[in-house]
Amino acid sequence: MLSAALRAAGLHLRSADPGAMKDFLVAVHARAAEAAAAGLMSSRAEVRRTLLHGASDGVGSASGKIHDLVSSEVSELRAMPR
């Protein structure tokens, strides 16, 4: 839901008050990192968090993390009994 709101209004919010938008995103990243460290995020949520973080830091830095997450999930799925 948060990503949908940011897609719809993010550019307007950023242009209206870039400092507030940065503060908001930093807080969201911090809360997501806390949830990930506590093991409260699904793999899908972790991939989305990595993508969003990569978008703010430069996409190249996120691509390796995403590959590792996806590879880990694929390995787990392959190990499951059929």
Retrieve residue 49's tokens. Answer: 């968090």
- pLDDT value of residue 66: 60
Percent of the chain having pLDDT more than 70?
Answer: 73
How far is the C-alpha of 68 from the C-alpha of 4, rounded, in Å? Answer: 26
Count of structural domains, the chain = 1
Find out whether 47 and 66 touch, Cβ atoms under 8 Å: yes
Q: Is the pLDDT of residue 20 over 80?
A: yes
Mean pLDDT score, 17-35:
85
CA separation, residue 46 to residues 12, 13, 15, 54 (Å):
26, 25, 28, 12
Gap between the Cα atoms of 82 and 9, Å rounded: 44
- Domain span at 42: 2-79
pLDDT of residue 40: 87
